[in-house]
Amino acid sequence: MIVLRPRARRRFATLLSVPLFAVPLLAVPLLAVTCLLGGAEEGGALAVDELARGVYVHRGAQLPLDVPGHDDIANIGFIVGSRCVAVIDTGGSVRIGRALRAAVRRRTSLPICYVINTHVHVDHVLGNEAFKDDHPSFVGNATLAQAMVRSRPYFVKEYAQDLDAPATLEQVIGPDRLVETELTLDLGDRPLTLRAWPTAHTDCDLTVYDQKTSTLWTGDLLFIGRLPALDGSLVGWIAAVDRLAALRVRLAIPGHGPPTPHLQEALAREHGYLESLLQGVRRELAAGDSMQDAILHVGGDEKSRWLLFDEVHPRNVARAYEELQWEK
Amino acid sequence: MSFRLIVCASVLLGLAPVCHGDDTQPASSMWEFLRTKYYGDAPMGLVDEGYMSLEVPANTPDPAATPLTLHFADDAHIKRARVFIDNNPSPLVATFEFGDTPVTQIDLHVRVDRFTSVRVVAEKAGGGLEMRSTWVKASGGCSAPPSAAAGGVLGEIRLRPGENAKSLLVSIHHPNSSGFQIDPRTGDNIPAHYISHVRIEAGGRTLLDAETGISVSENPTLRIASDQALPAPVTVDAVDSVTQAHFTASTASARTAAAQVPAPANGRN
């Protein structure tokens, strides 16, 4: 997939100033490189946009987890203070992590002091290894440590091609600094407030708030465009959405989908889906229906509003069914 | 994975190669082994979907809790049915023995470890065998970590009757540990610990007697349906594989518990 980002567009504009006969000669290798790296800048650096002063975001593609490019589907990025840099999520492969690191280096030579993971999923953590030599503090929800231990063997087995060969457990780096409820990190005249959430999207969600620009990184507590994927607690996630909706921020960066100044609107749409899942599965259970019936009956009217609905929705219903069987 | 291969090898006494995955087609040599073990060379009917059918989503929504549905004709007169998942470390999922009331549907959530055939073989009361099979793409269902929402009371049973009491959804709170899961706190294998037996009676007579194993999902969920109302009360008795404890529940006691709450001792409402 070729997305012409502003920087790439400038590059094409430059091409037009060379003699016309030379364009095919130059454009072919350039296109090839763009195709191969997908959203890459020169020198193997990941394309990032400065969405607020010192806040750089790389937009992941809205792709499923089992296709080429699956390692570049999450929004990841970094925030630069006067003293050092915090990286927020590192992408779904060591390769993407390195490209993100190259993007940091293109913008600042300040040290990378923190690598923050918003939760345990591969598309957010497998690039951690690329930052090891910077000796940052790896930061996450206190529950992320255990989630990493639990998931590490699975990641190494199922996502070996996204790690350096040979894939080893050591490359899947967990947190060394844990957030129990709230923690403020200072990047130098730049305080970041990290908040650990009770089980919602996963059992280890974390949000990052940049006070200076009023920017909230929601991690996967917020999906925009792409269907939210349930891997924690449906009831907990709805509660988290309600709490997030009380926040007033200038910019929200979701785990997936376009960053937005309209946090409440995006949360309302996500809430709509989660609530229809909740009510639908509760109804099926009350009628004593099977999981297969629930998958057939619940939430279909949300289909047109979301990307990857068919890939993700049946699993969401299954997870909700398993959880809600035990509701008091 | 070496641990699992060793277990497979010891189970199969030298047939270890069938434990290796095949990316294009579920391996069938395991089925030859199982078929011979349980049924010798008796012929099996394979076609009449009206008599019996098996439904499992080819792309499972959750490898650790894949919904499996069996349908039977109300005049099928089946004495016993076994469910197999060829490529699971323990392929025999469950053995169902039926009573007099015809059961027309069974739903069960199962662990699916990798690309595999799933089968049901029915033994007719009058003799003869019927088999239906399908296949499922999945990975990691047996080693999937315990759910993050685990907890609650071991052996708690929830009963949800369906419309006109023709069905009953039974949910049993139990880790149903497969023996292939890792304890995230210690890194050690969690020992197998599961519901080994479920007996369901309706109106004092056996409706279904099930022997179950580690391929059944965490919090075992079993739904039975009939073409007629299940005679009341329906009772469930589930046995723990480790402690041999019996966990029980009844639609009658659930109803009476709600209807006949004794007045508080102090006489106030």
SS3 content of chain A, % helix, strand, coil (to 5): 45, 20, 35
State which residue of chain A sits closest to B157, comparing Cα positions. A326
| Contact with chain B for residue A147, Cβ under 8 A | yes
**Contacts with A239 from chain B: Cβ below 8 Å:** none
CA-to-CA dists, residue B249 to A145, A291, B192, B193, angstroms: 39, 21, 24, 21
Q: Which two tokens stand for residue A129?
A: 């290894």
Report how far residue B171's alpha carbon sits from residue A11's, in angstroms, rounded to the nearest whole number: 61
What tens-digit pLDDT sequence spans chain B (269 residues)?
Answer: 333 333 332 333 323 233 333 344 565 689 999 999 999 999 998 877 789 999 999 989 999 999 999 999 988 899 999 999 999 999 999 999 999 889 999 999 999 999 999 999 999 998 999 999 999 998 888 888 777 555 678 999 999 999 999 999 999 999 999 999 888 777 788 999 999 999 999 999 999 999 999 999 999 999 999 999 999 999 999 999 999 999 999 998 754 333 333 333 333 33
* Of B55, B69, B219, Cβ closest to residue A322: B219
Instruction: State whether A150 and B219 contact (CB < 8 Å).
Output: no
- Cβ atoms of residues A324 and A288 within 8 Å: no
SS3 content of chain B, % helix, strand, coil (to 5): 15, 40, 45
Instruction: State whether B61 and A147 contact (CB < 8 Å).
Output: no
DSSP state at residue A225: S
What is the tens place of the pLDDT at every residue in A69-82? 999 999 999 999 99
Report how far residue B110's alpha carbon sits from residue B107's, in angstroms, rounded to the nearest whole number: 10
pLDDT computed for residue B211 by the predictor: 98
| Contact with chain B for residue A169, Cβ under 8 A | no
* A64 vs A144, residue with greater confidence: A144
pLDDT computed for residue A261 by the predictor: 98
- Say which residues have a Cβ less than 8 Å from residue A101's Cβ, sequence separation at least 6: A87, A112, A130, A131, A134
* B44-45 vs B78-85, strand pairing mode: unpaired
* B17 vs A135, residue with greater confidence: A135
DSSP state at residue B67: E
**Contacts with B185 from chain A: Cβ below 8 Å:** 146, 149
Q: How many CB atoms lie within 10 A of CB B124?
A: 16
Q: Which two tokens stand for residue B223?
A: 């739904």
State which residue of chain A sits closest to B62, comparing Cα positions. A315
Residue A245 clears pLDDT 90, i.e. is over it: yes
The whole-angstrom distance between residue B247's C-alpha and the CA centroid of its chain comes to 16
* Of B140, B187, B218, Cβ closest to residue A149: B187
* Of B152, B162, B184, Cβ closest to residue A288: B162
Report how far residue B184's alpha carbon sits from residue B181's, in angstroms, rounded to the nearest whole number: 9
What is the tens place of the pLDDT at every residue in A270-297? 999 999 999 999 999 999 999 999 999 9
Nearest-CA distance from A87 to chain B in Å?
27
Q: Element (H or E) spanning A238, and its range?
A: helix A234-244
State which residue of chain A sits closest to B182, comparing Cα positions. A150
Report how far residue B118's alpha carbon sits from residue B53's, in angstroms, rounded to the nearest whole number: 12
DSSP state at residue B59: B
What's the angle, vertex CA A6, arms to CA A4 and CA A10, rounded to 5? 95
* A182-186 vs A191-196, strand pairing mode: antiparallel
Q: Which residues lie across from B229 on neighbouring strands?
A: none
pLDDT computed for residue B265 by the predictor: 36
Side chain identity, residue A42: E
* Of A158, A288, A290, Cβ closest to residue B67: A290
The candidate with the shortest Cα–Cα distance to B213, out of B82, B117, B41, is B82
| Contact with chain B for residue A177, Cβ under 8 A | no
Instruction: State whether B61 and A326 contact (CB < 8 Å).
Output: no
**Mean pLDDT, chain A, as a whole number?**
89
* B85 vs A37, residue with greater confidence: B85
The candidate with the shortest Cα–Cα distance to B71, out of B117, B120, B106, B110, is B106
Helical segments of chain B, H only: 2-12, 29-39, 251-259
- Picking from B223, B234, B236, B251 by the largest number of A CB atoms within 10 A of its own CB, the best residue to mutate is B223
DSSP state at residue B92: E
* Strand ranges across the sheet with B221-225: B52-55, B66-72, B105-110, B221-225, B167-172, B157-161
State which residue of chain B sits closest to A146, comparing Cα positions. B184
Report how far residue B122's alpha carbon sits from residue B135's, in angstroms, rounded to the nearest whole number: 18
Report how far residue B153's alpha carbon sits from residue A86's, in angstroms, rounded to the nearest whole number: 43
CA atoms within 13 A on the CB side of B262: 3
- Say which residues have a Cβ less than 8 Å from residue B235's Cβ, sequence separation at least 6: B200, B201, B202, B248, B249, B250, B251, B252
* Of A154, A287, A292, Cβ closest to residue B163: A287
**Contacts with A317 from chain B: Cβ below 8 Å:** 61
- Cβ atoms of residues A316 and A277 within 8 Å: yes
**Contacts with B106 from chain A: Cβ below 8 Å:** none
Backbone Cα Rg of chain B:
20
Residue A127's pLDDT band, with cuts at 50, 70 and 90, is very high
Residue A25 clears pLDDT 90, i.e. is over it: no
- Cβ atoms of residues A46 and A57 within 8 Å: no
- Picking from B142, B169, B219 by the largest number of A CB atoms within 10 A of its own CB, the best residue to mutate is B169
Phi, psi dihedrals of residue A3, rounded to the nearest 5°: -115, 125
Report how far residue B164's alpha carbon sits from residue B229's, in angstroms, rounded to the nearest whole number: 6
Q: Which two tokens stand for residue B234?
A: 């329906």
> Residue holding tokens 């600042």?
A108
* Of A233, A288, A292, Cβ closest to residue B169: A288
What is the tens place of the pLDDT at every residue in A184-237? 999 999 999 999 999 999 999 999 999 999 999 999 999 999 999 999 999 999
> Residue holding tokens 């844990």?
A178
Instruction: State whether B149 and A323 contact (CB < 8 Å).
Output: yes
- Say which residues have a Cβ less than 8 Å from residue B210's Cβ, sequence separation at least 6: B94, B95, B96, B97, B197, B198, B199, B200, B222
> Residue holding tokens 């999906």?
A223
Number of cross-chain residue pairs from A and B with Cβ atoms under 8 Å apart:
87
| Contact with chain B for residue A286, Cβ under 8 A | yes
